[in-house]
Structure 1
């Protein structure tokens, strides 16, 4: 019986690794300035989906720090888990990957960097840009949602269920500790979520403003895309966070693309939960990124990917 039990455990372990990709999650590392970022140079497969991280900790294929090909167009997309996509979205279905393909139809070469990680906000993006620069990009597109307003780095220890820094002991251990509690509806949080303060919200706006100024000094065009949480789609006016970012963009004359109309029309298929995008939602984000990337200098706000005058 013991032998049969051991064989069953080993068989289940192999199936969990080969079939689900458990036991080999994308890993994060702490950073004294950025707070944390994806560990460089990873290639894993989770739930049948490819997950690639390049030398810069981006969820993108690797590329050189300077453009080399004539006519190359380069775009960096800053964001959080919405842009990163997570393991539930295959690498090829990410909006940043789709944008690279679509830009490549009009440029000889197109490079798009996915500068995003779970729970990042303006402070993380700014620190990342200070560390790596803009890597010879022509355009930086910042994708925001209301949760980014007041989201500041805390430098707390990384949680293994959201930002693992070491491989789990086994696929079965990861399944039992990371996914089974969520499946059973058990709360895995270590305590109540930290509430943003007025100082946090002011800091996030300062960080975003500094990122805009840094990019422009580097000769990079800046665009902003507004992504809505599902429960914000029917509200009157802009949610508080997006409204604050919008006012900042007006002050700095940064064109803005709103996803509200597109997400409202596709709400039944566009979301994995209240905020994260399904593969179909990533398609909508692709359209928004393309609209932002192709906006002329001096453009204003955009609604449903058409100019609002």
Structure 2
């Protein structure tokens, strides 16, 4: 039995990234994980995002973009982190701006309620960004926000 288990682990079936329960989103990946699966680097930072570790305080002059989504953004367990959509999106931006962080908050099979719920918890949100607030100078119905909310993908914030 142990020879079969060893063979499966060598083929990449051992050491999967771990999920944990979340009151707002249902489930998220556990924070601070670095595993290799099928030869691919699967990394989750301190905020359970599939991104490298980040400072909660954004450095001056940095463009920080948060992408929230499902397995399309996450890339599942067979995609190396450098091949996910947010990482590919960040590469050309680095040619325009020196400091860019494209953060990947995603989990496979998430629906809209999980995507919204993940950052509805003020304790989680305030750690690294201020949720956008409508500008009082703009008429109702407008999409202009005080910290320039931008809809690049269905649920992407830049701040």
TM above 0.5: yes
2:24·2:120 contact (CA, 8 Å) conserved in 1? no
2:70·2:107 contact (CA, 8 Å) conserved in 1? yes
* Between structures 1 and 2, the one with greater helix share: 1
Aligned-pair CA distance for 1:138: 10
The equivalent of 2:135 in structure 1 is none
The equivalent of 1:133 in structure 2 is 125
1:63 aligns to 2:54 (yes or no): yes
Q: Deviations over 1:114-141 (max 9, x none)?
A: 11111112211221122232733899xx
Aligned-pair CA distance for 1:88: 1.8
Once residues 108 and 137 of structure 1 are traced to their aligned partners in structure 2, the CA distance between those partners, rounded to angstroms, is: 22
Match of 1:28 among 16, 19, 32: 19
- Identify if the C-alpha distance between structure 1 residues 40 and 220 changes in structure 2 by more than 3 Å, giving closer, same or farther: farther
- Identify if the C-alpha distance between structure 1 residues 116 and 22 changes in structure 2 by more than 3 Å, giving closer, same or farther: same
- Identify if the C-alpha distance between structure 1 residues 137 and 51 changes in structure 2 by more than 3 Å, giving closer, same or farther: farther
The equivalent of 1:16 in structure 2 is 8
The answer to which structure, 1 or 2, has the higher relative contact order (CA under 8 A, 6+ apart) is 2
Runs of 4+ in 1 over 4 A off after TM superposition: none
1:83·1:116 contact (CA, 8 Å) conserved in 2? yes
- Identify if the C-alpha distance between structure 1 residues 216 and 133 changes in structure 2 by more than 3 Å, giving closer, same or farther: farther
Q: Secondary structure at the match of 1:74?
A: strand
2:64·2:100 contact (CA, 8 Å) conserved in 1? yes
Aligned-pair CA distance for 1:97: 1.1
Q: Deviations over 1:87-124 (max 9, x none)?
A: 12111111111222221121111111111111112211
1:138·1:220 contact (CA, 8 Å) conserved in 2? no
Aligned-pair CA distance for 1:224: 4.4
1:113 aligns to 2:106 (yes or no): no
Structure 1: gaps of 5 or more residues: 1-5, 140-212, 227-253, 255-288, 294-309
Choose 1 or 2 for highest CA Rg: 1
* Between structures 1 and 2, the one with greater strand share: 2
Q: TM-score if structure 2 supplies the norm length?
A: 0.77
- What pairs with 1:168-207 in structure 2 (closer than 5 Å)? none
2:70·2:110 contact (CA, 8 Å) conserved in 1? yes
Equivalenced residue count is 145
Once residues 150 and 130 of structure 2 are traced to their aligned partners in structure 1, the CA distance between those partners, rounded to angstroms, is: 10
Which stretch has the larger CA shift, 122-131 or 57-66?
A: 122-131
Q: Deviations over 1:21-68 (max 9, x none)?
A: 322111111112221111101111111111001111111111011212
- What pairs with 1:136-285 in structure 2 (closer than 5 Å)? 136=129, 216=145, 219-225=147-153
- Identify if the C-alpha distance between structure 1 residues 138 and 127 changes in structure 2 by more than 3 Å, giving closer, same or farther: closer
1:74·1:138 contact (CA, 8 Å) conserved in 2? no
The equivalent of 2:112 in structure 1 is 122
